[in-house]
Amino acid sequence: MSGEKQGALLLRKQLTDLNKNGAEGFSAGLIDDENLFKWELMIVGPPETFYEGGLFKAHLYFPKEYPHRPPKMRFISEFWHPNVHKDGEVCISILHEPGEDKYGYEHASERWLPVHTVETILMSVISMISDPNDESPANVDAAVSCFAL
């Protein structure tokens, strides 16, 4: 079985599981029913944060090599956060390519691993929203305003 077909089967199973079991803090579905590699997400702003009560749309784009390579995530809704680039791209360790970080900021165990699922990715994103990483901000302006509070 080709890697792309394996990835598609895995993504179909994850989508089915999420829809059957539900998940707290987000919902997920396909952007286009014909393409399992492009997902649309709705994330609920976590309680006791600046984002509380907000609904934020994001897209998750999976590479053909999934699960061996990480997806990319981008907020479609405007989202001002230290760990989200100004264009909406999410910058968290588990979405970084697997292996050692050439800059030494992250351990390989913090980066992408094939065991991650859509649910673990989104739980990490919700955690990131609640507790920004100020050591390596993707959006310096947001970091300055966020940590000045």
**What is the set of active-site residues?**
91
Q: Quote the CA–CA distance of 82 and 136 in Å, as a whole number.
A: 9
CB atoms within 10 A of CB 46: 18
CB atoms within 10 A of CB 142: 19
**Helix, strand, coil share of the chain (percent; to 5):** 30, 15, 50
Q: Quote the CA–CA distance of 77 and 42 in Å, as a whole number.
A: 10
Q: Quote the CA–CA distance of 149 and 145 in Å, as a whole number.
A: 7
